Amino acid sequence: MAMNTVDIFERLRNGEIILANDPEAYRMREESFVTKKLLVQMNNTPDPDEIRNLLSEVTGSEIDQSVVVFTPLHINYGKHTRIGKNVFINFDCVFLDLGGITIEDNVFIAPKVSLLSEGHPTSIEDRHSLIPKAIHIKKNAWIGAGATILPGVTVGENAVVAAGAVVSKDVADNTIVGGIPAKLIKDINS
């Protein structure tokens, strides 16, 4: 059997299932501890500029001056998270980003929101494998307090996810969804 020579993080970003016995799987845990060290610093400073600078280091990309993050923020990797301009992230959010998280401009993320871009198979034999699927939050979306966005979901432009919702399917532009599992409540324009 040929050995996969593509970096595990690239494979994750491409949506490849990572088996429990993957020879590079240990790297996910190692990188999480590097990220955790930066998050300890970020989550213990009151300075918004220092928060943005440390978040830039966590994500490996520049965080715009217009972005506001109320810490704590918990991220397991960071390098697969992209944050646009004029984004507000409230207290105590969790981003599992090995599968990729994109947050476009003008997005509101309320307290205790979870963006979970990775999951596991339900079969007992394969449960320790990791299934990555990117999350995309489009412009002007508002994710309500305590909402959970599951792997592979796109939240449309101007959409609202009600507080406490669990979103397992894409949310159309200009709609409001809520509930467990989240369902259409109404069109914003009606």
- Main-chain phi, psi angles of 154, to 5 degrees: -110, 130
- Over residues 24-33, the mean pLDDT reads 94
- Assign residue 6 a region: left if phi > 0, alpha if psi is -120 to 50, beta otherwise? beta
Residues involved in catalysis: 120
pLDDT one-digit tens code per residue, 99-123 = 999 999 999 999 999 999 999 999 9
- Over residues 12-16, the mean pLDDT reads 94
Decide if pLDDT at 1 tops 90: no
pLDDT one-digit tens code per residue, 39-92 = 999 999 999 999 999 999 999 999 999 999 999 999 999 999 999 999 999 999
Decide if pLDDT at 38 tops 60: yes
Distance between the two ends of the chain, CA-based, in angstroms? 57
* Predicted structure pTM score: 0.94
Q: What is the CATH number of domain 8-187?
A: 2.160.10.10
User: What is the pLDDT confidence band of residue 2, given thresholds at 50, 70 and 90?
Assistant: very low
- Over residues 128-156, the mean pLDDT reads 98
pLDDT for residue 6: 84
pLDDT for residue 5: 63
Structural domain spans, the chain: 8-187
User: What is the pLDDT confidence band of residue 190, given thresholds at 50, 70 and 90?
Assistant: confident
